[in-house]
A and B are shown apart, each in its own frame.
Chain A
Amino acid sequence: MSPRPMRWLAYARWQLVDGAWQRLALPLVLAMLLAYGAFYSTKGMAAAHPDFWTNTDGRRFAFQLLRQAMGVFIPLAVLMGTNGMVAQDRQKGYFRFFFSKPVPVTGFYVSAFVAQGALVMAGAALVAALIGVRSTPQPMLGVALAAGLTFALLGSLLFLLSTLTYQDGLVFILVWMLTLIVRQLEPAMNAGHWLHSAVRVLPPTHRLDAVREALYAAQPVATADVWHVLAYGGACFVLALVALRRMPLSR
């Protein structure tokens, strides 16, 4: 077989199919159910007031619904989307089939990661679109970008953990919880406390939250926050690629 660079890209079609069915479907269904439940509860009000979705209360309700739906969909889609991405292939032994073929390991997983990121963004836009169709138009692009930034930050971290350990999901949840706790404690600490240093290596979820809120509300975002999120996610992603390149596939 003559070497044909980038042949692994042809496999992205299958990665998209797997990602959609195995990793995206459940968060999508849950977000839809949540939205359906909310719409069902407002059925009577919307029928009694035909202008409900155009008045302030209706708009506020739709915005809150979007935030709630995204609050379920995005973290779940990111967690399910990247959990075990590398670890599962190693642990279950699928790598023996994939990587005896003329396929670069890094290319294979970059393609899987990008495909999953695209699915998460498309899923978020779809949920926003459906909420918008039923109520009042929602910022689909902003929502998709918020999902993309979350994937870039937390998805990259989970991707890195997945290259390092079979227990990536568990370690990720521990890191996430640690981040939440440390960020709660940080304001109460004196300057120079070690927590201020420790907090720098933890994912900047507070900045992500600020950017996400602005995007949902179609407000301008703080560019510095976006860069911080992207830099952290990018660093995790690059480290994951280095680990993939240097660490043995078999253990």
Chain B
Amino acid sequence: MIAFRGVGHTYRPLLGKRVRAVDDFSLDIAAGEVVGIAGPNGAGKTTLIATLLGFLNPSDGEVRIEGQAPRAYVERHGVSYLPELMALPTFWRVDNALRRLGVLAGVPAGELEATVTSVIDRVDLDEHRRKTIKALSKGNFQRLGLAQALLADNRVVVFDEPTHGLDPVWSNRFRDLVGELRRADRVIFIASHNLDELERLCDRVVIIDHGRMQRVVSIASAAVAATAWLMRVAIGGDLLPAHFASAEHLTDGTWLVRAADLEALNTGLAASLATGVRVTSVVPHESSLEHHFREAVRR
């Protein structure tokens, strides 16, 4: 559905140095996929999204959405987009902002009020609907951004740092929202610094650095790839090194153990339990995505 083919982009300011923001990026995204994009600051995530939406023409390569140039696709069908850089005129009222953007999104006049009310309810902004944007907190403004992205039922959804400024409750609700949006004929593209969020939401995560794709991590297959685990032990921690050769005591009751795979972990765990060790929790030392990210982005 979406194809990046050798996409590169160089910013050429009139004065100053040229900056190669994206370099030789290729990726195919099929309908139904939720794809994440992770990378450090300045890695090229937002530039990549700008080429996807047709805001920038790539210097090299091409982007296609259902075979069309991005601008042509967006002008015909629209894209549900929550930008990282949220900016709307501050004197606009929340409900009027949604009415305006609803008109642009192509919501029929007869359905506009109901649609605006529906998205306001969906992001729980009803008590703020008559406030100006200037009066909104960062989190509420972010929710307004989310609301405007939900005005139309588009097949391409792009979220750039979607939980930036949201409190934990709303970060969780955002995850539910992505679950609701997931559909067989829709692509959801999420750029985020939050690896945990991407790991929970995405089918694949693309890691980029210095504008280049470093690796594509398939979340389902990466989930079992952890080799280091944090084990919290209530009783018998001293017995762990007998079963996990490289067990390392970190803090009171917390041990770092290494196992080549899940089988080795469970064998060692069973042996430990049999000798009287009592374990309260076992979690991966770092998420599989985090592990990939650290390997891919070595600085």
> Which residue from A11, A94, A248 sits with its C-beta under 8 Å from B55?
A248
Which of B102-110, B119-127, B184-192 has 4 or more CB atoms under 8 Å from chain A? B102-110
Please, which residues of chain B bring their CB within 8 A of the CB of A98?
101, 104
Is A4 interfacial (CB-CB < 8 Å)? yes
Contact B106 A4 (CB under 8 A): yes
**A228 → B minimal CB distance (Å):** 33
Contact indicator B83/A96 (Cβ below 8 Å):
yes
Q: Name which of A94, A100, A105 has the most chain B CB atoms within 10 A of its CB.
A: A100
User: Bound complex: CA of A93 vs CA of B79, how far in Å?
Assistant: 17
Is B94 part of the binding interface, using a Cβ–Cβ cutoff of 8 Å?
A: no
Contact-residue size bin, chain A (C-beta under 8 Å from the other chain):
20 to 34
CB distance from A93 to the nearest CB of B (A): 4
Query: Considering the chains assembled together, what is the distance between the CA atoms of A151 and B139 in angstroms?
Result: 42
From residue 1 to 28 of chain A, which have CB atoms closer than 8 A to chain B?
1-4, 7-8, 10-11, 14
Contact of A94 among B76, B79, B89, B106 (CB under 8 A): B89
The yes or no answer to A139 lying at the interface (CB within 8 A) is no
Task: Please tell me if B75 contacts chain A, counting CB pairs below 8 Å.
Answer: yes
Determine if B154 and A10 form an interchain contact, defined as CB atoms under 8 angstroms apart: no
Measured CA separation A25–B66 after assembly (Å): 46
Q: Is A194 an interface residue (CB 8 A)?
A: no
- Contact A1 B154, beta carbon cutoff 8 Å: yes
Please state if B78 and A100 are interface contacts (CB–CB under 8 Å).
yes
Q: How far is the CB of A109 from chain B (nearest CB, A)?
A: 13
> What residues of chain A lie closer than 8 Å to B57, measured between beta carbons?
248
Closest to B104 in A: A101
Whether A235 is near chain B, meaning CB under 8 Å from some CB there, is: no
A97 to B104, CA, bound (A): 9
B273 CB-CB contact with A under 8 Å = no
Find out whether the CB atom of B55 lies under 8 angstroms from the CB atom of A101: no
Does A97 contact B56, Cβ atoms closer than 8 Å?
Answer: no
Q: Using Cβ atoms and an 8 Å threshold, which residues of chain A touch B109?
A: 10
Q: Is A248 in contact with B56, judged by CB distance below 8 angstroms?
A: yes
Q: Which of chain A's residues have a CB closer than 8 A to the CB of B105?
A: 1, 101-102
CA distance A244 to B76 in the complex (A): 17
CB of B105, distance to nearest CB on chain A (Å): 5
A193 contacts chain B at the CB level, 8 A cutoff? no
A99 B85 Cβ-Cβ under 8 A = no
How many B residues touch A, CB cutoff 8 Å?
32
Interface flags, B61-89, vs A, CB<8A=1, else 0: 00000000000001111111101010111
Contact between chains at B104 and A96 (CB < 8 Å): no
Q: Taking the complex as formed, is B206 at the interface, i.e. its CB lies under 8 A from any CB of chain A?
A: no
Assess the A101–B87 pair: CB atoms within 8 A: no
A226 within 8 A of B: no
Which residues of B from 182 to 210 have beta carbons under 8 Å from A? Answer: none
Which of B56, B88, B101, B158 is close to A101, meaning CB atoms less than 8 Å apart? B101
Contacts of B74 in A (CB 8 A): 99-102
Q: What A residues does B154 contact at CB under 8 A? A: 1
How far does the alpha carbon of A1 sit from the alpha carbon of B75 in the complex, in Å? 12
| Cβ contact within 8 Å between B55 and A102 | no
Query: In this assembly, does B140 line the interface, its C-beta being within 8 Å of a C-beta of chain A?
Result: no
Q: B148 interface residue, CB < 8 Å from A? A: yes
B50 proximal to A (CB < 8 A): yes
Q: Contact between B87 and A96 (Cβ–Cβ < 8 Å)?
A: yes
Q: Does B230 contact A (CB under 8 A)?
A: no
B153 at the interface (CB under 8 A from A): yes
A93 to B82, CA, bound (A): 12
| Chain B CB within 8 A of A104 CB | yes
A250 & B56 in contact (Cβ 8 Å cutoff): yes
A101 touches B106 (CB 8 A): yes
Chain B residues whose C-beta falls within 8 Å of the C-beta of A7 in the assembled complex: 103-104, 106
- The answer to whether A93 touches B50, judged by C-beta atoms less than 8 angstroms apart, is no
Residues of chain A lying within 8 A (CB to CB) of residue B83: 93, 96-97, 100
Known: A1-B153, A104-B75. 10 other contacts (CB 8 A): A1-B106, A1-B107, A3-B77, A11-B103, A97-B101, A99-B53, A99-B74, A100-B81, A102-B75, A102-B77
Question: B residues bordering A, Cβ < 8 Å?
Answer: 50, 53-57, 74-81, 83, 85, 87-89, 100-101, 103-107, 109, 148, 152-154, 158
17 contacts between A and B (CB under 8 A): A1-B78, A1-B105, A1-B152, A4-B106, A7-B103, A10-B103, A11-B100, A14-B103, A93-B87, A94-B87, A94-B89, A96-B83, A96-B87, A100-B81, A100-B83, A103-B104, A249-B55
